Structure 1
Amino acid sequence: MRYWFLCALLCCSTMTLAGNKVVLVSLDGVRWQEVFGGSDPQLIVSPAYVKQPQLIHTYSPGHAEQLMPFLHQTVAKHGVLAGDRNKNSSVSVTNPAQVSYPGYQELLAGFADPKLLSNADIPNPNPTVLEWLATEQARQVAVFGSWQLLPQILNTARSGLLVNAGFMPLQQLHTERVQYLNELQQKTPASFATVRPDIFTQEFALEYLRQKQPDVLYIALGEADDFAHQQQYDRYLQAIHHHDAFLAELWRTLQNLPAYRNQTTLLISTDHGRGLAEQWHRHGQTAALPGYPAPEGVPGSEQIWYAALGPGVPAAGLVQGEFQQGQLAATLAASLGLDYRAAQPKAAAALEFNSQFQLASDTAPAADHQGP
């Protein structure tokens, strides 16, 4: 017998925790291999990919808790993880493009759109769960991201969502700290043309969280993916470690605010996977598309992961099973006691697990997948 992931939240918490909150964080292009296996033993010693070994000498292969201590010491103990394909746990994208824009569309709308096949700078024709929550459910929603295409993905012209992304100053909040961050962002050299340093996304989001306390907050971090594309494995690992430190700070902040303490669900995932071995820095289409030539493909691009923590989330650790990226949209709504699929039938079902919570253990038989 199977039942909804977060069933305790739906059956109990929605009755007692009126006004539940949700925070979703996406870590662009972070592979499941590093999330569950730590640094790659071949890549971390490659002079082609590691120019500054002193940055990553503490991230040992096979020790994921060194790279992401919050994820493995807090989320794994008190929440749920999925996506370690070495332990019969997999999460996959269903969009054939397997790049960022289609990935965020699937993550936030709950389904893949076959017409969205690239990172083209166009408005998303599909409403997302965030738009539905803001316009149909009267929830206060705020979005902070590092990639400048996020307003298009969320189609702010139509949705009216508050989206601060790319190199935009934050104009919806007037505090001394925001003024300082706006000025500092203008003065800070950027490593990438379309992605601002994640620290500004993080600090804007934290300040807005403290001051405005929205019902739903989405934070999209982006630097790890860009360092990977530049084949800088050292900076990629460093970015992942910084992501984890931010997640820890975010969770502490939520627990220190009465409006969020013990009534906030934290969801964490990514937009796409990456290639294996020497293709680790690439990702993209592995399925044939109508009207397009057969793709070269980057195996592994469809392989992602997710994590969840909060009231009603079972303390199940790593859970076995096969799951899809699109399930997070309905899960986000379900954690608020809402049925997103009733409004968007194309969306995948909220995450569900075996009623026995089949935990992936060190002695579990290995799945038929290539590992880190």
Structure 2
Amino acid sequence: MKYRLLICLMLLGLIAGAQTTEHIIIITTDGFRWQELFRGMDPALASDKRFNEDDSALIFRQYNAPTPEERRQKLLPFFWNTIAKQGRIYGNRSLGNLVNVSNPHWFSYPGYSEILTGHVDAAINSNDYPPNPHVTLPEFLNNQPRFQNKVAAFGAWNAFDRILNEKRSGIPVVSAYDVTGGTKPTEKEKLINAMLQNSYKMWQEECMDVFTHYAAMEHLKTKKPKVLYIAYGETDEWAHGWKYRSYLDAAHQVDKWIGEIWAYVQSDPEYRNKTTLFITTDHGRGDSEQYKWTSHGADIK
């Protein structure tokens, strides 16, 4: 079976007859497969010496279970204990629920542009593409009086400056190794900045997700944005590196962080029952042969 995919959409907060949404938090985790979302750990990949980082026992101990339903719950407990009950989850291809990307390229910049603008521009055909010529949803909202200067974005990958066209849109975009907090950082933001600048830089164009997450959380708590975009990246980076254990760990951590975001939202009167979380990914991964899970693109099936 040929997969164009993947994009899985999860909406938390838009329950039938629910309260009016006044805030939206968009969350993406780069290149996360539908297979792990709906089936959990893949025993074949976890057993494969090419991918298991010489520790299949650890992967099985942490994420294995008798059934796909139990495995997915071990990998992504917040998704399956909370989102599945209070929100909506789409994209289970085993049930014929297809949520496909529409762009012909099947990699990151075109995928994020499609998510954030709602349409496809086939001319956006490179991750090095210049600043996005199209207005994204965050930019559109930032131009509305009600939302002006209440929109922010945090992304592990430095391309988000261009994807969101930071200069034109006026949206503060903290990406990769950018410092957070602007000209008046809080004490926590100063610490995050110091740790980021002194951290081991695994990738030239992308920071570890932990820095993106904590910078975004501090902004959420202190600046109270109406629209917030958080883009995690390690799921894609570890997959490209053929590191299945790290890929699973990154997904498990993102699930935990989404739970943390939701817990804060529900604890704050300004956000409680008035906030929607929209969670998705920019593209899927190859599946026609076992090793192709590490890659993606128009020529990868």
Q: Does 1:202 align with 2:209?
A: no
The one-letter code of the counterpart of 2:47 is: V
The one-letter code of the counterpart of 1:240 is: A
The one-letter code of the counterpart of 1:143 is: A
- Do the aligned partners of residues 187 and 261 (structure 1) sit closer, same or farther apart at CA in structure 2, a change above 3 Å counting? same
Q: Pick one of 260, 264, 267 that aligns with 1:249.
A: 260
- Do the aligned partners of residues 169 and 54 (structure 1) sit closer, same or farther apart at CA in structure 2, a change above 3 Å counting? farther
Please, which moves more after superposition, 53-62 or 201-210? 53-62
TM-score normalised over the length of structure 1:
0.72
2:179 and 2:16 mapped to 1: Cα distance? Answer: 38
The one-letter code of the counterpart of 2:283 is: H
1:13 and 1:137 mapped to 2: Cα distance? Answer: 22
User: Quick check: 2:28–2:280 contact (8 Å CA) kept in 1?
Assistant: yes
Q: Pick one of 164, 167, 192 that aligns with 1:154.
A: 164
2:57 and 2:271 mapped to 1: Cα distance? Answer: 38
The one-letter code of the counterpart of 1:80 is: R
2:268 and 2:17 mapped to 1: Cα distance? Answer: 25
User: Quick check: 1:181–1:200 contact (8 Å CA) kept in 2?
Assistant: yes
The one-letter code of the counterpart of 2:178 is: M
| Equivalent position of 1:130 in the other structure | 138
User: Quick check: 1:145–1:164 contact (8 Å CA) kept in 2?
Assistant: yes
User: Quick check: 2:189–2:215 contact (8 Å CA) kept in 1?
Assistant: yes
Offset at residue 190 of structure 1 (A): 1.8
Q: Does 1:165 align with 2:185?
A: no
1:179 and 1:197 mapped to 2: Cα distance? Answer: 17
The one-letter code of the counterpart of 2:62 is: T
1:166 and 1:131 mapped to 2: Cα distance? Answer: 20
| Equivalent position of 2:32 in the other structure | 30
Offset at residue 298 of structure 1 (A): 1.1
| Equivalent position of 1:312 in the other structure | none
Q: CA RMSD in A?
A: 1.9
Q: Does 1:212 align with 2:223?
A: yes
The one-letter code of the counterpart of 2:84 is: A
- Do the aligned partners of residues 27 and 55 (structure 1) sit closer, same or farther apart at CA in structure 2, a change above 3 Å counting? farther
The one-letter code of the counterpart of 2:209 is: D
Alpha-carbon deviations, 1:12-65, whole Å to 9, x = none? 734xx6xx1111100100000001100112101001101133552311162100
What stretches of structure 2 of length at least 5 have no aligned partner?
1-10
Q: Does 1:86 align with 2:99?
A: no
1:137 and 1:109 mapped to 2: Cα distance? Answer: 20
Equivalent residues in 2 for 1:1-372, closer than 5 Å:
13-14=19-20, 20-51=22-53, 52-53=55-56, 55-56=58-59, 57-60=61-64, 62=68, 63-139=71-147, 140-172=150-182, 173-276=184-287, 277-285=290-298, 297-299=299-301
2:249 and 2:118 mapped to 1: Cα distance? Answer: 30
What stretches of structure 1 of length at least 5 have no aligned partner?
286-296, 300-372
- The percentage of counterpart residues that share the same residue type is 38
1:218 and 1:12 mapped to 2: Cα distance? Answer: 22
